[in-house]
Each structure stands twice: as C-alpha cells, then as structure tokens.
Structure 1
Amino acid sequence: MRRASPGRTVLRPFIPAENPFAAEGATASREGDVIARIQSLPVAEVKRELARIERRLAHRHDNVAAVLDRRFHEVVPPDEDGGTLDPVRRRLIGAYFSEEYSFEAAALFNPSIVAHPEQKGVEPGELRFLMSLRAVGEGHVSSIIFQSGIIAKGGAITLDPPSERAVSPQIELVPGGTPDDPGLRLSFGDTDDLSAIVIFPFTWHRRHGLEDLRLTPFTDDDCQTVHLGTYTAVGGETIRQEVLRTTDFRTFELQALGGKYAPTKGMALFPRRLDGYYAMLGRQDHENIWLLRSSDLYHWESGAAIIRPRWPWEFIQIGNCGAPLEIDEGWLVLTHGVGAVRNYCIGACLLDRDDPSKLLARTRSPILTPSSRARNGYVPNVVYSCGGLVHGRTLILPYGIADTLTTFASLSIDELLATMA
C-alpha cells in the first residue's frame, strides 16, 4: 500500500500575480519590480541571502544551484540581461521565481503498471515493475510520479522506498502543436532512482494538472519498443488527451492529441498497431467504451462505441481501466463502471484479438468494489485503476482507493475468464 507523503517536494517555477490596478499602458511587471529590488541589494547581502536559501533547500533537493540558474534564464531573456548581472545575483533572482511544491500532499492514486526497463539482478520467476501514480498537491493539481517494486516468484509484491528527493527537469520545446501550444521535452538527467522524477504541469494548457497516465510498452512494426502513455491535461475549463513518450524514463516528450475525439478523458492505447493502424479505447460520449483507429498517433477522427452499460453497477457509464492486455485468448480489458450513488467498481471484458470491435465476454459482476475502507477518502466510494500487468497467468492490478491511496490485487487470469459471460 502506498499513501501520500507531504514531505516530498519539488522545485518548480513560480510567477507572482500581476497587479490588477496597474496604470493603463504601464510597461513594468511584477517580475521586473522584484528583479529591480534584488539589483538594488549590496553584493554582501546578495551573497548572504543566497547562502541562506541554498542551505535550506539542500536538505531536500539535489543540484540546487543548477536549478536556480536555469530558472533565472527562463525568466530573464538574454537580451535583457546584457551581461550586467553577476552569477550570484542571477542565482538569487532564480530563487525568487521558484517555489517548493509538495506534489503528493493530498492524495496518491490511479496507478498504471509496466515491466521495469531494468531487470538486472532479478531472480528467475520474479519481475521488477514500474508504476505510475497520480499525485495530488495544493489546489487539487495533479502530477505524474513513478514507483518501482518487485513481484516475487510466489506473487508477493514489495514496493521500493520512494526517493526522499525529487528532480526538477530541464524543459525544451519540441516540434509539433501550434506556436502557443508546442510539445515539451523533459530531461531528468541520469538519475538512477526513477521515483525521484516528478512530471508536474509546466504550461498554460496543462496548468490545472496531468491526470491518470495509462502506460503501455508499444512495439511498432519495426519491432522497436517505446513506452507510450495517454493522460488528461487539464487547462482550466478545458480538458484534452495528450501522449507521453519515453525510451528510458529519464527523458520524456509530451504532445497534445488532435482531432474531434481528443478533447476528452480516459483514452488508452493498444500496445501495437492493428492492421497498420494505431488503436485506442476511449469514452467519447461519456457513457460507452469506444474503439478508435488512426494512421497518425497524434490525430484521432474515426471511432464508434463497442461496449455499452449492461449491468446495474455500470448503468451511469463504462470505461477502460488502462491499456488492453494481450493474452492467448484475445485482448483483456480492465473496465470501470459507475453505478448508484456514484460508486466506481472495476470489471473486465475480453475482445477479439484480430477484430477488437467484437466483444467476446464480460464480467457480470465487478471484480473489485468499494469496501468499507474504500468508502472514506478524498472521493468516497471509488476503486479505480489506470492499468494492470500480466505476469505469467496472473493479473497484477494496482488500484486507487477513494482517490486517496494505492494498493494491489492479484487475480488468476483463468479464474477471471471463467467468471465472464
């Protein structure tokens, strides 16, 4: 079981709000005012203040000086610096436009899980895994974090302790999107502990959170595998689907999806092309599971509903709980159903491997329901997952409880299929 830890923080950008009563046509900004005040300080005071800040931050963050230097260059364009500011004063300016953010202070839930890219040292029959989690901090803002662990030969699951320190990424723009909405490349260096990585909202279009990453190892026609994950970007009154791409879980590219089916939640990518097309499951009408196809990973215009609510526990809506899992019998899809009193339960269905628009079987009753402990939390009466993992003939299912914490269930695939009709 994994609970939120308020003591885990990351250094992220901070910009003070503008003055709503500034004179019309005024060119001064709050940032400019702050920088001017720092420039007015004597050198000795600048050094003293910076030493105090770095000393305080060093207890919880690595590479503090580099992060503050980088933040200065994000705030002050090169043509405005003019080479007049000394390195110590630049670093202090960077500190004033940074903040510590407790990224999992409120909750930690909605996990997905994949095999860890590094299996060195794992005993036969065991599997090291990497789990993504939705971490919620101040203002109900969601970030994406990771946690590793081991599935033992006998099925016991052990989580590695999360890093006490988080890494702030280097951020670059990448081709794609529009001039005011480009893609992003996030580089976290060569950190060995992937639990130190925090992907928090960086841009206006994502300012209210990155939610519910659904990871899958995607193998393309050239047999090369990358990890792709769809997630919901929340930008104030708007939401949309975006895709995360990584080959090593240290460098990530984030790109918005386009097309009429992209402004939604909960899309999950199949782990390979189907008949030459990318394929997704989604809930475009907020009620049914849809199958979408596209020749372009980043643009989605074609789809239709394939699974509709049937049982009382899913009468409000049915959706996926992560990327489809390929087994001998077909595509195993974990589902969520919403019923009376907005209870969220988890079920499953089986789709035809060659034609996933064909529903072969589904669970009549949920496989996981909100128990007495799942009724209380940030959002009561909810169990939810963003993806499971097949290990042998066992389904490893991490899931969130009451949008508060995360735990695990293990199910025999043979027994699960036997419950389907």
Structure 2
Amino acid sequence: MTLSEAEVKHELEITLKEFVGRHRNISDIYLKHASNYKNIINSIGVDYAKLSLERRLLIGSYSTMEYSIESAALFNPSIIEDFDQTFLEEGEKRVIISFRATGEGHLSSIVFRKGILDASNNLRMVAVHKHIDFPIIKKKKSYNKTRFMKKMEEMNIPKEYSSPIMDALPKRFEYYMLKEAVRNILTLDIDEQRRTALKEMTWLVDSYYDIEFHEDSKISGRVIFPISSSESRGIEDARFVRFTDDDGSEKIYATYTAYDGFTILPKLISTSDFINFRIMPMHGNGAQNKNFALFPRKIKGKYAMLARIDGVNNYLFYSNRITLWNNPIKIQEPKYPWEFTQIGNCGSPIYTDHGWLVITHGVGPMRRYCIGASLLDLEDPTKEIGRLKEPLLSPLEEERDGYVPNVVYSCGSLIHNNHLILPYAVSDYASSYVTVNLDDLLTTLIAES
C-alpha cells in the first residue's frame, strides 16, 4: 500500500512479463485472490473499491503461487470409451483416461487425458494442454434433513451435539442455515468433543457440490482438485465407468475416496460431458473404507457396487439409489499366497457374454501389489465362475522402485478389438498399459472354476 502508482505498475509489468505466458487468464486469478483481502484493506482505512486495477492485480500476485499437480506422481489410471467416436479409422476407439495426480505435499487430484486406440491396440495420446482451467464451484443449495441426519449417524456424530441444531431446521434446509448455526456455536466456549462434532457437520454439508469448467477448455486442462473439507488431504483412486440405464441412456459415474488426514469418505461423481460434474457423498452402513466400483448397468433393476469395506475382502451391494449402500455381501476372500493380505477390485466390472470380468488386486509378502482377474455370474455376481490362481500382472524388476515400491495397480480397464486394455500404475509414480487376449483370459478363468 506504500508503493506509488508508478512503482505498482513497474512491479506488475515485471510479474506479468514472467508469468502471463504460463497460465490461462492469470489476471482473473490475481483479481480473485486480491478480493480475499478486501476486508483487511478496508479495516486499515483504505477503500478497496477505489484501488486501481494495477494495485489490485499486484496484491493478487502476492497471494498466488504455482503448484505442479503431477510433480510427485501420475498413477492409478482408469480408462473409458469416449462418447465422441467421430472421424476415426476402422478398428479405432477414442478413450478418456483419468489419473490420480500427486504434487507437492502429497496432495492428490484427478486429471484427464484423451487418446486413440488403433486396430492393433496401440494407444496414441493427445498432446497435453499447458494451462489448467479452474472450475466454477457451486454448493448444493438445499438438503433433505432425514437423509442428512442418517449420514451423521453413520459418521458417529453424537445426537446430543447435533440435535440442538437439526431440531430447529425444516425438513429441507438451505446450505447457509446449517453453516451459520454451526459457526455461531463454534464461537462459544465449548468442549473439544462438541467442537469436533460440529466441525464434522460442516465437513459433511460441504461434501456436496457441483463444478463447472469452461467449454473452450481442453480436457487435459481440467483438474478436479480437493474442494471440500472431507478432501483436504486428497482425492484418491477415481474409478470411472460408462453407465447404461434401463432406458438406454448413458452417463459417466466415478467413485473415489475423499481423505482429510483422519477420515475416509467414499464419494460419487456424475457427468455427461466432462465439463459439468456433480459430487456427492455415499450413504449407508456399507459406505465406508475404499475400493468402491459401480457395475456399468443395473442387475435385476438395481444398481450394483463392489467394495472392500473391511480392508481385506471383496463385497457386493445392491441398491435402488445410487448413493445409498447398505447390507454388503461378502463374495471374495484372499485365497492364494499372492493375495493373502487383501483382495480388492481394480475398477468397475466389465460385461462379457461369459460373465462379469472383474480385474482385482491382491497384496502379498512385502506389501507387493499384483493384478488378478475373476469371472462372476451375470445374473448373480455373488457366484464366482472362475479366478486366476496366479497374478495376471506383477511388478517387473524395473517397475519395483518408485513413489510406493512393488506396486502395480489399476482403477479401470476396457475391451477393444477382443483384447483387454489394462492401464496400470508403476509403483505409484507413473502409468503404463498392457493388452491381454480376451479369449485366452476367459478360457483360463472358466478352466480354473
């Protein structure tokens, strides 16, 4: 504030010259960040509204830093077929691949890439856009009181702390009403247990939101960053699936794990265009732990989901509502030495004429992660038709060292030209892919039933 307008202009010119070519709409970012200081500036007797544009831009630059979203790792890929299959040669398929990107501070986000699989299953990636597009964040406006209270019970938030607030709210309440009520009580002298419970209520209401990217942005420039408090330590292992409803309509869903450093919350993403995304927490007595993977279609009129809710075994759920998951059914336990520690899925099941193909992961000695495969009955996935006795994929010697050593892992694969296209993480620092002849794989799985 002590700089003259000439000095402000000089410093701003230097900054813009150095950084304007590295970012998209950096002036808008500076102005947005500067507005966070509006109350502070007004409190020292200066009218923020009367500051010159240059001074506001310079203030914003001091509260802005660059962040390399993939500097530590780019791993745990999930691949789906793109809705757009125009202008391709015969035997080609356009795909979208999501990755878990980890940067400074071990913070994980979701990033996207496009590619084309040719007739020989070679994957040609589209060039990565250099600029990140920041989405518009829209909080959900109203909430169902009954469902919200049920989720608080699942999170073990004591009723003695939540009831004084919830009892006063209508059957459908607005976002700001709960936030304001909690904020008022947090200003009082209350014990730590009550304070934690109230913060968890805020944490839950902030877990619902929509994000919207600019339509002129490239998909590789769209990043789903941690936004709510439940995601403050990262968004982990998104499993994308192209879902076909009973009426033939299609939508993209993804399950992921929100982590705040202490608590895990399974969440669901929905999108139809990879521009507008809706994010919701999942509910129910089974909505806990990791590894949720949605089936690509309903089974006997109900949504179906796989998960590893106890950290060890594979479970199956059915539900009439895509965010509500109760009464899990255990369908797989560790069976072979390479998976004795735990078994889980590596993405959504894949439909084949012979059954649901489920790519699994197993953890064995020295926390070595390998990838396996199982075949489940189409009408009753609790029935295992077959299961590989040996891993389908194990870490090669040159793949064993990395961000997390001795790991191969995937979050979703697909079938192309009668081959399984399986992208996988290489020791949690980079990603690769393999192809597997589908007939050979299914023949082996049925033989090992």
CA distance in 2, matches of 1:344, 1:218: 28
1:56 to 18, 28, 35: 18
**What is the deviation of 1:295?**
1.9
Q: Secondary structure at the match of 1:335?
A: strand
- Residues 297 and 90 (structure 1), Cα distance of their counterparts in 2 relative to 1, 3 Å cut: farther
2:89 to 117, 123, 127: 123
RMSD value, Cα = 2.1
Letter in 2 for 1:50: L
| TM-score (normalised: structure 2) | 0.80
Letter in 1 for 2:439: D
- Counterpart check, 1:148 vs 2:119: no
Letter in 1 for 2:5: V
1:410 aligned residue: 435
**What is the deviation of 1:419?**
1.8
2:123 to 142, 157, 177: 157
**What is the deviation of 1:75?**
6.1
> Cα deviations across residues 219-256 of structure 1 (Å, max 9, x unaligned)?
22332211110011111111111111111112222222
- Residues 286 and 123 (structure 1), Cα distance of their counterparts in 2 relative to 1, 3 Å cut: same
1:219 aligned residue: 244
1:294–1:302: 8 Å Cα contact kept in structure 2?
Answer: no
Q: Secondary structure at the match of 2:291?
A: coil
- Structure 2 residues without counterparts, runs of 5 or longer: 149-174, 180-201
- Structure 1 residues without counterparts, runs of 5 or longer: 1-38
2:301 aligned residue: 276
Letter in 1 for 2:92: E
Letter in 2 for 1:212: D
**What is the deviation of 1:301?**
2.0
**What is the deviation of 1:408?**
0.7
User: Identity over aligned residues, as a percent?
Assistant: 41
| TM-score (normalised: structure 1) | 0.85
2:271 aligned residue: 246
- Residues 326 and 76 (structure 1), Cα distance of their counterparts in 2 relative to 1, 3 Å cut: farther
- Counterpart check, 1:233 vs 2:233: no
Q: How does 1:4-43 map to 2 (within 5 A)?
A: 39-43=1-5
1:169 aligned residue: 135
Count residues with an aligned counterpart.
Answer: 383
Moved more, 190-199 or 227-236: 190-199
**What is the deviation of 1:51?**
3.1
> Cα deviations across residues 249-289 of structure 1 (Å, max 9, x unaligned)?
12222222222322311111111222232211000111110
Q: Secondary structure at the match of 1:172?
A: strand
1:388 to 404, 413, 436: 413
**What is the deviation of 1:74?**
5.8
2:314 aligned residue: 289
Q: Secondary structure at the match of 2:267?
A: strand
- Residues 296 and 375 (structure 1), Cα distance of their counterparts in 2 relative to 1, 3 Å cut: same
**What is the deviation of 1:40?**
4.5
Q: Secondary structure at the match of 1:373?
A: helix
> Cα deviations across residues 128-170 of structure 1 (Å, max 9, x unaligned)?
1110011111111111111111111122222222222222222
Q: Secondary structure at the match of 2:21?
A: coil
**What is the deviation of 1:398?**
0.3
Bigger helix fraction: 2
- Residues 335 and 49 (structure 1), Cα distance of their counterparts in 2 relative to 1, 3 Å cut: same
1:329 to 342, 348, 354: 354
2:119–2:417: 8 Å Cα contact kept in structure 1?
Answer: no
Higher Cα Rg, which structure: 2
> Cα deviations across residues 302-350 of structure 1 (Å, max 9, x unaligned)?
2111111111111110000001111111211100000111110001111
1:3 aligned residue: none
